[in-house]
Structure 1
Amino acid sequence: MLSNRLALVLVTALAPALWGSTYLVTTELLPPDRPLLAAVLRALPAGLLLVALTRRLPQGSWWWRSLVLGSLNIGVFFALLFIAAYRLPGGVAATVGAVQPLIAAGLAAGLLGERLSPRVLLAGLAGVAGVSLLVLRADARLDPLGVAAALGGAAVMALGVALSKKWTSPAPLLAVTGWQLVAGGVVLLPLALLVEGPPPATLTGENLAGYAYLALIGSALAYALWFRGIRALSTTNVTFLGLLSPLVATALGWAVLDQRLTAPQVLGGLVVLAALVAAQARPRRRDAERVVAASARQPAPRAERAEPAGSAGSAGSAAAAR
């Protein structure tokens, strides 16, 4: 049982690790100054592909639930992260975003009955401190709107994770992932056209390879692993894994781009890893029973009628560290 849970945590951790490669792919392969275009091409084609493969459309309440979850987890999150990235140095945005596990833990306590323990609070504070050591610079400037956007992005993503845990669809995981990616892409598309205009007239082979990586690996694969983890693990367990993104981004910058790694950054990385390990510790038996009892009180999801094989009718996110 322990080895199965560890394997599940490690597989889920692949998602934020893959998101940590977004910065490298964006800077090395994509056109400059088009983060919203990258977000759209990262979400929408991947979502359409998964819907086409699963041939399942939402039923009943899952039409609006998919729109809400897709907006929170992808669309609104990327838009706020875009604002934060443009108005704040990357280190400040990442440090502010590192409060997401703390916000998610509070929401899980209110929505799901998960216990907000002192261990989780200390691990959350340690995670923020570790990320700040890892990416924050002494000359970093603070912009109120940028900080608000970064905090808003952390809050909507945390809410998206909590609601994804609360609302469990009986549909296949890949179909649910596809619905959310399509919803997020649809939310982002008009914003991208308004802010950045139409896509470039020509794209290089490197551009196409970068967009393909973000869509297939950074979205279709990564979000499927992420949502699978949300279904099987507690909200706290999952959200703390998101701290891996700045850690992987820093490691790739050092290994691939020859960026200098300082002693405080190494210390910050170790603190982040310690916070991750502390957050994954299993709750005491009494706490676990309380979570199970709270879950049992929630109404079971209604069974959905399977769509006919051809009903989907449809073929077929580098704004940030996700």
Structure 2
Amino acid sequence: MEFIDYYRVLGLHKSATEKDIKSAYRKLARKFHPDLNPNDNEAEKKFKQINEANEVLSDPEKRKKYDEYGKDWQHAEEFEKAKAERHTSRGPNQYTYSTGQKGDFSDFFESMFGGARFGRQQQVKFRGQDFNAELKLNLTDVLKTHKRTLTINGKNIRITIPAGIDNGQTIKIKNYGGEGLNGGPKGDLFITFSLVNNTSFKREGANLYKTIEIPLTKAILGGEILIDTLYGKVKLNVKPETQNGAQIKLKGKGFPKYKQEKLFGDLFITYKIKIPTKLTKEQQNLFKKLEETNLN
């Protein structure tokens, strides 16, 4: 019969606090719970070890005795005899694992703590497993808030998708995860959005960006052009002598702001001047005349 390092079983150091012990126990007990690992003998064995470690380390008296005599477990009862005479003996209690079984203690535990006699009632409630799902949408699908029905693990779930949601953003749907164990609460559903940009615009947050070509003559002389936005066509007045790379802002023509009803980002248009090619002789002569005027 060997000494069992209960701290190691829970992945803790001897300096662990009550909170550390509780957190480690819940995490590991849920991971190896028989209900989540059916017909897995190793998981069941690990689950019993975790429960036993928690039984000792979460009880101040047991932990104190373990820390003091653990390595000398063979003589622990002798060391405790004198103390026991000074204390009122306890009546028998029954310890119940969350599997509902009794008496699943190691020989080490039986020897040091007298088995279930020193146990206490315990029925741990475990929160259900969280579910994760990915939802692929086009960018134009999230221009407006709308509802959509998803099928998760065979169940239909009606969710509201807010306008302006971002690519990679995750939302939580509370209590739509797995069922809890031992009467514990349900887990949550986490939906991550994968947006495909099916537009000619570049999106950064709520702002949109686009580069459009304009003829050289339009850049020099100015005039009107017609461009597309996500909300229809818009006329722009190009100023005379517009430079290549000049940028203008169309306020409120960008993307909806997430969860900010009726608020939108801006659309930024960058002008790229198109240099004419395949000029006729007449056109070339006109440019030569301009050059002769020392036009810079």
- Higher relative CO (Cα under 8 Å, sequence separation at least 6) belongs to 1
More strand by share: 2
Q: TM-score, normalising length from structure 1? A: 0.20
